[in-house]
Structure 1
Amino acid sequence: MSLSNIDLNGYILSVTDSPVQPEFQPLLEDVCASLSQDDLGLDGIYLYGSVARADATPGVSDLDLTLVLREPPTAPLLERLEAIRQALEQRHPEVIKVDFDIGSRAQVLAPENTHSWGVWLKHHCRCLWGNDLSQQFERFRPSREIAVALNADFEQVLAGYLARIAQADAEPQRLRLQREASRKVVRATHVLRSEEATTWPQTLEEHVALFVRCYPTMITQVAFFLFEARNPEAQGDNFTTRLQTFMAWMALQHTAAIAAQVST
């Protein structure tokens, strides 16, 4: 994949269709077998992240999946899916975590979600099983509007992580949550991309590189979260304080950018 992740015509590159690394093939076969039961109501299973890009590291990387359901999920169905997720995680030590992002077909195809769900499936995911809804969308060029649509929930999600970290009663659980929160905050820095930016980050390192171009004085702060996203080890109070401070700074910058856009 190009370092800019943009093709010669200015469109965001889609995740490669090259074969998945053989180390993860049994896991993906298990995923499809476990989730394709008709009574679960799945419309499609999509792969994203390092396994989708074929640059994952066995025993180190996560398995990131987007599940699109035919209908909005009920509470009992979400419980069943969580049980399947945990079982997959336990059966497959080649990944350290299995993540499900869950939505419905109506959500994906709603016109107001074109710059979020549409871009996500079109350029960040590859369909493993079922209906490939990415075919419903034209290719997209990078824009700040899309970056904001994909990450507009960052304050809500990170506040949730802070609450869960505070309630964690065991260090392994706390460190896992710090790792997940760090991944989210690094990706969420994309809401602060400039309108003039011509690259489209995919990896955490690419997100950091793009962010630092605009905010070089924040390199120490964002580097902390990049490290925690790979090797979480910070004390809980230290991590929480840093995350609260960085979130508040990001929210101020984001609000100022929106105000500046409105004024022009």
Structure 2
Amino acid sequence: MISNGLDEDGYIAREGSPDRVPAEFAPVVDAARERIATAFGPARLHSAYLYGSIPRGTAIPGVSDLDLLLALHREPTPDDHAEADALEATLDSAFPQIKGVGVLLFGTDTLLSELERYDLGWFVACLCTPLLGEDLAEQLPRYRPTSLLARETNGDLALALPRWRERLAAATPNSAAPDAIAPDADLAALSRAVSRRLVRTGFTLVMPRWNGWTSDLTASAEAFAVHYPDRAEQMRLAAAVARTPTIDRAVLAVLIDDLAPWLAAEYTAVHGEKAPRP
């Protein structure tokens, strides 16, 4: 492998591996594999994947979460989602070394579709580590850090802004209820989601010029800073909040009302808008 997350041919290298799972998290991964197989079975489950810090080898006990993607033979049903919710709760309560579990469900037709080729397909092929079943990456192309990939992964940031503003407003006391205080957990969750999305979008904005791939938040912010020095400190702030969520509404206002709309407009100007989904 050469630098910037590319292989020797200049394609984005798969970033995770079973060999990189830290020893403290090996029992978690083993339990996830066993319980996924039991809960979904071969009739429903095509394949299962890890993604995030655990397969990258950067997970921190008691801080990192367990991220899973399940590819089903058909599109997921409400019963499938209920099963996934139960799986999340079971794993989260059983292992103190993880702080939360997230399970994504998709049908294989969606993951392999032309529409998702440069979004979910790329995600599976480059950011997911096989855990169970036949690897869908074998049916997907290799990917370079192109403007097309940038557009299809993060070219829809503008769609998230109204939801973020609504969540921040709902978490902020108003004159009708001046004594109301939003739960800190709500603000912390919002700050984590917003900041991680902004850092990833900021990085993919400059990804073709940087000519590589990274999931490291600090490296992502610094790659962005080279090309947008006027916004560098805001992006570094986003990276810091992504690592350590905040309940400071003033910080959230900077990210949601200033950095985010500028970034959405700049992204569209540079890469265009993501193909609309149904």
TM range (shorter): 0.7 to 0.9
Match of 1:223 in 2: 236
Would the aligned equivalents of 2:157 and 2:264 in 1 still touch at CA under 8 Å?
A: no
1:134 aligns with 2:137: yes
1:90 aligns with 2:93: yes
CA gap of 1:141–1:31, structure 2 versus 1, over 3 A, is same
**Cα displacement (A) at 1:166:** 3.9
| RMSD over equivalenced CA pairs, Å | 2.3
Residue number among 62, 73, 78 corresponding to 1:75 in the alignment: 78
Q: Show structure 2 runs of 5+ residues with no match.
A: 172-181, 273-278
Aligned equivalents of 1:77 and 1:158: distance in 2? 29
- Superposed CA offset, 1:194-244 (max 9, x none): 643312122212221221121111111111111111112241354134322
User: The residue matched to 2:11 in structure 1 has which SS?
Assistant: coil
Would the aligned equivalents of 1:12 and 1:200 in 2 still touch at CA under 8 Å?
A: yes
User: The residue matched to 1:193 in structure 2 has which SS?
Assistant: helix
- Superposed CA offset, 1:154-197 (max 9, x none): 33345434434444541123212311221122112234226433
Amino acid at match of 1:33: E
User: The residue matched to 1:205 in structure 2 has which SS?
Assistant: helix
**Cα displacement (A) at 1:117:** 2.2
**Cα displacement (A) at 1:90:** 2.3
CA gap of 1:159–1:49, structure 2 versus 1, over 3 A, is farther
**Cα displacement (A) at 1:51:** 0.7
Could you list the runs of 4 or more consecutive aligned residues of structure 1 that deviate by over 4 angstroms after TM superposition?
none
1:21 aligns with 2:34: no
User: The residue matched to 2:117 in structure 1 has which SS?
Assistant: helix
CA gap of 1:155–1:84, structure 2 versus 1, over 3 A, is farther
Moved more, 193-202 or 44-53: 193-202
Amino acid at match of 2:259: F
Aligned equivalents of 1:83 and 1:194: distance in 2? 37
1:236 aligns with 2:249: yes
Aligned equivalents of 1:217 and 1:102: distance in 2? 39
User: The residue matched to 2:85 in structure 1 has which SS?
Assistant: helix
1:4 aligns with 2:4: yes
Q: Show structure 1 runs of 5+ residues with no match.
A: 260-264
Aligned equivalents of 1:96 and 1:69: distance in 2? 26
Amino acid at match of 1:173: D
Would the aligned equivalents of 1:71 and 1:106 in 2 still touch at CA under 8 Å?
A: yes
Moved more, 71-80 or 208-217: 71-80
Aligned equivalents of 1:115 and 1:48: distance in 2? 17
Would the aligned equivalents of 2:112 and 2:140 in 1 still touch at CA under 8 Å?
A: no
Match of 1:65 in 2: 68
- Superposed CA offset, 1:79-98 (max 9, x none): 33123212322222212221
Would the aligned equivalents of 1:68 and 1:105 in 2 still touch at CA under 8 Å?
A: yes
Aligned equivalents of 2:271 and 2:11: distance in 1? 24
User: The residue matched to 1:110 in structure 2 has which SS?
Assistant: coil
Match of 2:151 in 1: 148
User: The residue matched to 1:57 in structure 2 has which SS?
Assistant: coil
CA gap of 1:161–1:85, structure 2 versus 1, over 3 A, is farther
Amino acid at match of 2:25: F
1:33 aligns with 2:34: yes
CA gap of 1:163–1:71, structure 2 versus 1, over 3 A, is farther
Would the aligned equivalents of 1:52 and 1:126 in 2 still touch at CA under 8 Å?
A: yes
Match of 1:182 in 2: 195
Amino acid at match of 1:28: V
**Cα displacement (A) at 1:3:** 4.6
CA gap of 1:119–1:235, structure 2 versus 1, over 3 A, is same
Aligned equivalents of 2:271 and 2:150: distance in 1? 13
Would the aligned equivalents of 1:201 and 1:210 in 2 still touch at CA under 8 Å?
A: no
**Cα displacement (A) at 1:2:** 5.3
CA gap of 1:230–1:189, structure 2 versus 1, over 3 A, is same
CA gap of 1:181–1:132, structure 2 versus 1, over 3 A, is same
TM-score, normalisation: structure 1? 0.88
